[in-house]
Amino acid sequence: MQPITRAICVSTLAVAASFSYAAASANEPQSARAGWYPSIQSGYDLLAEETEQLAEQASTYCAAPSEDARAQLEHQWRDAFMAWQHVRFVDFGPVENNNLAWQFQFWPDPKNLVARKAGYLTKSDQPITAEVIEQSGVAVQGFPMLEYLLFDEALSSSERALPSTHSCALLTRVTRHLASNSEQLTADWQHFKTPYLNTESYHVATLKAAMATLEILEERRLAKPMGLRGNGKRNPYITDAWRSGTSLLSVEATLLGLQQHFLPGFLTLLEQNGEQDLADRIQHQFKATLDNFPAANRPVTTLMSDDNAFRILQGLYVDVSQLTTLVNDQAAVALGIVRGFNSSDGD
């Protein structure tokens, strides 16, 4: 995320979150959901705004291609993708409908389905319509497909590169599909207010969602590509968003999303349970982990190809691991949260 964009997002959402959680503390001290709900809503609203701008920018670029329009399109893709990262931890509620989470981001992709489907669609004589996108599956419908069209080196050097007719048709249809899904998601979350606030199981669901996100972040988005799991070999190509060089930018955005939308209510719960010291340590560890940026905001291919640069990645991993231990082990025990064994294992 660009410094200005990050500053705006952080300050705006932080202010909104502070008011939300202040109200929750005053009116419903036993329910963090009263604070989580409007904060998540603000994240979904931002996602809807950014994806709508992305769809508009894609149409502008394909109607009148230029270097400037292409640069603006790539910048807008990053802003929209980071807006998704902010709310990516929410894995319950409306985002479960019609596999919406997978429609936003199909990952992991061990069989390279995104590239294979892009190749088929851009080579086909069949017109790329909204119906084609609907029927083509989640590997076609989200941010990874757009990333492939915008940043894949092999595609960019071929005759099918943007702004070719079929690639532009695929680009504009997918961006419009994303914008439509985002608009639906923010509307559905508004309607979800009553069941979310009045159903106790969503209290645990929210806690488990954040904990699962940290576990996936540690194990699948960092440890496995770094060679700390499996065969011991570094492999940047199994990270998400490696083509655009934004894998670690998206890690930062995920952490910022947790810090903004989840952490205030979580800390309140810990304090209410007499765990002020643990709450303070978790808050400090979030800050320490985010302090790895912007130094870590480099392509993972760069950080993994040089041992000196790799130390930056190792430092980030250690901080994420410590944060995960504090939240998923110590805080989970303190709050009586029982989680499944190795819940993020597998692809």
Q: What is the pLDDT of residues 68-114, one digit of tens each?
A: 999 999 999 999 999 999 999 999 999 999 999 999 999 999 999 99
The rounded mean pLDDT for the chain is 91
Angle between helices 201-218 and 33-63 (to 10 degrees): 50
8: pLDDT confidence band, cut at 50, 70 and 90?
A: very low
Query: Does residue 343 form part of some domain?
Result: no
Mean per-residue pLDDT, 121-138: 95
In tens, the pLDDT along 241-279 reads 999 999 999 999 999 999 999 999 999 999 999 999 999
pLDDT at 147 over 90: yes
Query: Does residue 42 form part of some domain?
Result: yes
Q: Is 155 exposed, middle or buried (0-12, 13-18, 19+ CB in 10 A)?
A: buried
Query: Can you give the CATH number for the domain in which 244 is found?
Result: 1.20.1420.20
The distance from CA 343 to its chain's CA centroid, rounded to whole angstroms, is 19
Task: Give how many domains the chain has, as a whole number.
Answer: 1
Query: Does residue 290 form part of some domain?
Result: yes
Position 271 scores a pLDDT of: 95
Position 339 scores a pLDDT of: 79
Amino acid in the structure at residue 102: W
What are the respective helix, strand and coil percentages of the chain, to the nearest 5? 75, 0, 25
Query: Does residue 341 form part of some domain?
Result: no
Query: Does residue 242 form part of some domain?
Result: yes
Contacts of 49 (CB under 8 A, 6+ apart): 83
Mean per-residue pLDDT, 52-68: 98
Question: Does the predicted TM-score (pTM) go above 0.85?
Answer: yes
In tens, the pLDDT along 198-232 reads 999 999 999 999 999 999 999 999 999 999 998 99
Query: Does residue 116 form part of some domain?
Result: yes
Q: Which of 8-12, 147-151, 295-299, 310-314 bottoms out in mean pLDDT, i.e. has the lowest? A: 8-12
First-to-last alpha carbon distance for the chain, in angstroms, is 27
Domain span holding position 89: 3-335
Position 19 scores a pLDDT of: 43
SS3 per residue for 44-94: HHHHHHHHHHHHHHHHHHHHCCCHHHHHHHHHHHHHHHHHHHHHCCCCCHH
